[in-house]
Every structure is written in structure tokens, then in C-alpha cells.
Chain A
Amino acid sequence: MKTKKKDYSAYAFMLPALIIYLSVIIFPVGYSLYISLHSGTGVGGMRFVGLTNYITLFQDKIFYIALKNNLIWIFLTVCVTMTVALALAVLLNNKFRGRTFFRAFFYFPCVVAGIAVALIWRWIYNPNIGFINEFFRAIGVDFSQTWISSEKTALIALFVAALWQAIGQPMILFLAGLQAVSVDVLEAASIDGANAVQKFFRVTLPLMRDTFIMVIAILVISAMKVYDIVKGLTDGGPNNATQMLSTYMYSQAFDYNNVGYGTTIAIVMVLIMLIVIIPYLSFTTKNN
């Protein structure tokens, strides 16, 4: 009788990645769940408190402010960032001189560190001699603001800085999507008498459905995670006007040493993200 020798080589190849992945991602996530049921500073003296942290969180006004800001951020990203990125992609999809340069140019802010971008904009928004107020003064318009230190304007000012940086990735994805729209179909539409606008809305956009879904998913996920630019520009201030779940989590866990509470915020962030990710995954796997 001959038994076939089992082949374990696949597991051997996977082992290094698996060990790192389990120790950095999977185990800490489980550990986070555990910590979120405790109170204490993390260095010994953790006390089991059950769901107290979660109950406190759902009564915490700042949590709702942060959640609202994240939702506004998602809304702005999907509406504004996506529209500008799509417009740029359509413009840069035409053949003309300098096209490669413009693509590289608009993508460039993406490769700059979020913190560096935040610091550049901190200077642009400087209420005394920053670019924007100087500019308004130069053209004689009385529109000087304190931008990032005013509760009214801080979130929008922050979003503008983020927009400057974030346009490149969706733009490139849209460009790839536009190139996948076959020329034959567009020509057929022209022969049938469709004009450029009709062709764009009736042919190109529907054919780019998958690209749209991918871009929206990426933008929503990154809007939920937004951190560096907020940290570098306002750190959640003034008076929580730009507080996000990510900054609130960090300040609770590391500035105030409420590790249990901070971790609870992180777990809730994961749960909220699952609401976006599960439909996206089921959609993409169905398509494949």
C-alpha cells in the first residue's frame, strides 16, 4: 500500500508572512477587544469593567462630534475629491502636449508625507502673514479669517489641505478606468448621433461602474482613517471642531492614558468600517 506523502511546502513558504501578520495584526486586534473591556493605564492594574467603556462612549458628546466630523469628511471626500479627480482624469485623458507632465504634477502631493503637507498648509493659513490672507489683502477683499483656529472654518480649511494632497490617487484610478472604455463603443455612439456630453454620461460613466465603486470604497476607507493631516494642522481643535475618531482615540489612549477607553474607540472604528467593507467585498468577489 502506498500513501501519498503530504506536501507541506506551501505552509513553509507562507510561514514568515503568517508569523508577522498574526503578531502585528491579528493578535493585537484580539488583544484590543480584551483591553476595551478593561480600565486602567495599561502598565499593570487593568481592571475588568465589562461593557462600561462602550456605554460611556455612547454617552460621550465628543465621540458624537468626532463621528459627525468623520461622516462630514466622508461626504466631502466622495462629493468634492471624487468630482475634481474625475474632472482632471477626463481632461488628462485627451491627447495633448504636456499631458504626462500634468499627470505627474497633480499626483505629486500624494507622495509627500501627510505631516509635511499639514505643515505647509499651517503656514498658508497663518492669520497674519499666511498666503491666503495676504492674497485677499493684495486684491483688496476684506475676507481675512483665522482659518484653522476658528471653529467655523477649521474643518473646511482642513479639508482643502487634504483635497490638495488626495486628488492624485482617484485621478489615476479614473484615468485607468477611462482607458478601459473601448473606442469602438464610443464610435458607435457617435454614429448614432450622440454628442460628447451624451457620450460621457450615457456610455463612459456606466462603463466605469467598477472603477467608481473601487474609488468610492478607497475614499471612504481613507476618510475613516484620516489622521496625519488633522494631527499636523489642528490636532482636533479648536474646541473639538476638527476632532476625528482617529485623533480622539489617540488622545484618549496616549495623551490621557485611558487605554481601555481609547481602544474602545478603535474597536468602534473597525465596526463602522465593516459597514462599508462588507458590501464592497461581497460585490467584488461576486464579480470575480
Chain B
Amino acid sequence: MDGKAKKTAGMALKYIVLIILAILWVVPIITLVFTAVKSKADFFSGMSLFQMPENIAWDNFTNAMTKGRLFQYMKNDLIICCLKVPLGIFVEAMAAFAITRLTLKKPTAWFTFFLIGMMLPMQVALVPISIIYNKLNLTNTYFGLFYVYIGFGISNGILIMHGFFKGIPRDLDEAAYIDGASKWRTFINIIFPVAKPAVATLLITDFLATWNEYLLATVIINDNKLKTVPVGLMTFVGEHGTDYGYLCAGVLVSVIPVMAVYLIFQRYFVEGMAGAVKS
């Protein structure tokens, strides 16, 4: 075999492997969609899994949204995200600003201290948080939930902002101070706006992490009216364990906002993650 033929064969092999993997990976998504559009009767009629029903069972979707309270769960989750994500990023940026650009005795020690949270499994804080929350009446409150979310996000947020702030030239702050700006002004008007790419990455990854969080939400929220999407989805299993059309419609609806965010901001994931490796 000459070089060229060898190269083509290699390329073909790569494509074949890629296509096989892609088929394996797409199966769950197709199964989800094909199940979500089927009514209970369709299952009993012995219809094949990959057959489209004559009438799409829109009922599954409306039931999931209203009777399954998915609409309510999504609203709750959105409120939590809108509180947690911006507040968290701001607080993290302030701390990272202090560590990278202001006079601290041991900046590295502080930085390491803030990173400990990333290493700890959430389980280690669950019981104390639930005991404290019971005493302070914070269980079943939005505040209670987004407060712990900010706490658990701090390590990662400071890591990302720290990495970005380190790369901003010092001249920028010094010019601002010479012009008579205070530290607060310099942070708000100069440094924070420059960090837009890091903020954007954090906004999106934080939004998704918060939207999908399950463990803390089950411990802090047990009121049906306040549940977030993952906790709410689990109630689908208990109540309607056998109605897979309804269950899959619920899962599909819950995934759609995430998919929209992902498709719009897709490049931030790849770039953001790559940035984390370089720093």
C-alpha cells in the first residue's frame, strides 16, 4: 500500500469509529423523544419503540407541565439560578480581586484556603446544614437554597476569576489610581468589565450546575411548591413509575432549556474548559 492509500484508509477507519460512537451516543436521545410522544395505549398495542404513533401524545407534555408541576419546578429553579449565579460571581470576583491585586499578607495561603471547598464532598456538610437550617427556619426557603449554592460555588468561582485577573496588566489599575479612582471604583469600572470572558464562562457553567443540582436541594427543600427541576423529576418516578410516555415527556421538557442555553453558548464551554487547562 502506498502512502496515499494508507492515509485514506486511516481516515476511513477514523470516520467509522466516530460514526459508531455517535450512533451509540444518540440512542438514548432518540429513545427519549420517541417515547415522549407515545400515549399509554400505544405501549399496550405492542408498537415498536422506534415507530412514530399516528397521533402524537401532546397530553404527555401538558400533563408533565401542569399536573406534574414541571412548570412550577422550572420557575423555582429559574428564580434560584437568577439569585445564585450573579450574586455568586460578584462575590467571587471581589475576593479574587483582593487576592490578586490588593495588599494581603499571604495571598497564596488565602487562595489555597478558598480552594479547599472544591475537594470536599457535599455529604460532609449535609447534616450540619440541615440541623442549622431547621433551627433558623431556613428549610423550604429560596434564600436557604441559593445561599448554600453560593457557598459551594465559591471555590470554583475564585479559581476561574483568579486565573483571569492574574493575566490583566497591573498598569491598568495603576492608571486608575493615578486618576484618583478608589479601589472600589477600579474594581467595578475597570477590572470587572475587563474580565467579561471569565464572567461569561462562569455565568453559563454556574447556571447549568445550579439548574441541575439535586443533593442539596433534596435536603433543603421538601415542599412541593418550592422544588427545583431535578427534585421534581424524581417525584415523577414515584407517582407514575409505569407511565413512561409521561415520564419521558417530563425529562424532555426539563432538558430543553438546558439544550437551548448549551446551543447558544456552546463555544464558551470548549474555550472555558481549555482555558482552565492552560492556567
Contact = CB atoms under 8 A, between A and B. Distances in A.
A108 B129 contact: no
Contact of B266 (A104, A112, A270): A104
B98 A24 contact: no
A122 B263 CA distance: 26
Contacts of A58: none
A186 B195 CA distance: 35
Given A29-B125, A177-B277, A231-B214, A9 B18 contact: no
Contact of B114 (A7, A21, A115): A21
- Number of chain B interface residues as a range: 35 or more
A81 interface: no
A172 B274 contact: yes
B151 A29 contact: no
Given A114-B212, A131-B49, A173-B273, A265 B121 contact: no
**Which residue, of B95, B117, B134, B187, has the highest number of chain A Cβ atoms within 10 A?**
B95
A112 B18 contact: no
Given A13-B102, A177-B277, A249 B148 contact: no
A24 B127 contact: no
Nearest to A174: B277
B25 A164 contact: yes
Interface in B249-279: 251, 254-255, 258-259, 261-263, 266, 269-270, 273-274, 276-278
Interface of A is mostly: helix
Contact of A25 (B130, B151, B183, B229): B151
- Number of chain A interface residues as a range: 35 or more
A227 B121 CA distance: 10
Given A10-B98, A20-B91, A172-B274, A119 B247 contact: yes
Contacts of A164: 25, 28
Interface of A: 7, 9-14, 16-18, 20-21, 23-29, 31-32, 35, 42-43, 84, 87-88, 91-92, 94, 102-109, 111-116, 119-124, 126, 129, 131, 134, 138, 164, 167, 169, 172-173, 175-177, 179-180, 196, 211, 214, 221, 224-225, 227-228, 231-232, 245-246, 249-250, 253-254, 259, 262-263, 265-267, 269-270, 273-274, 277
Given A29-B124, A42-B131, A180-B277, 6 more contacts: A13-B102, A29-B128, A31-B131, A35-B128, A245-B123, A263-B127
Interface of B: 10-11, 14, 17-18, 21-22, 25-28, 31-32, 35, 43, 48-49, 91-92, 94-95, 97-99, 102-104, 110, 114, 116-117, 119-132, 134, 147-148, 150-152, 154, 158, 183, 187, 208, 211-212, 214-215, 219, 229-230, 233-234, 236-237, 244, 247-248, 251, 254-255, 258-259, 261-263, 266, 269-270, 273-274, 276-278
